[in-house]
Amino acid sequence: QSALTQPASVSGSPGQSITISCTGTSSDIGYYNYVSWFQQHPGKVPKVVIYDVTNRPSGVSNRFSASKSGSTASLTISGLQPEDEADYYCTSFTRSFTWVFGGGTRLTVL
């Protein structure tokens, strides 16, 4: 049950686009289409922004999009806004019938 691999930090200027990667294995991301992404602001509870690889819950900005290729999932945020500054976590279901999270990525909006 090794954690998924995410970059520790990414940054971008307002209006720009950024992409956060989430690398797993053939036993998790590479096997199931059950990848979700969470946004967590300091002191707040995580909030889902993407579920099942590409699906955006109602109420989440369409500036958030995601994809998967092989064992790597990616979250893209376009038109960066100051309120996007937060920690982002990916998670995937695994062949062991467990879930595993990534280590988290701190997004800084410059």
Which residues contribute to the site for another protein (CB under 8 A)?
A: 1, 3, 34, 36, 38, 40, 45-48, 51-52, 55, 57, 89, 91, 96-104
Main-chain dihedrals φ then ψ at residue 9, nearest 5 degrees: -155, 150
Question: What residues contact residue 48 under an 8 Å CB cut-off, 6+ apart?
Answer: 36, 37, 38, 57, 60
Name the minimum Å distance from CB 87 to another protein.
Answer: 8
Nearer to another protein, 3 or 110 (CB): 3
Of 106, 56, 110, the C-alpha closest to 82 is 110
Nearer to another protein, 13 or 62 (CB): 62
Give the torsion through C-alpha atoms of 22, 24, 29, 31, to 10 deg. Answer: 160
Name the minimum Å distance from CB 13 to another protein.
Answer: 26
Name the minimum Å distance from CB 47 to another protein.
Answer: 8
Name the minimum Å distance from CB 104 to another protein.
Answer: 4
CB 93 within 8 Å of CB 32: yes
Nearer to another protein, 15 or 66 (CB): 66
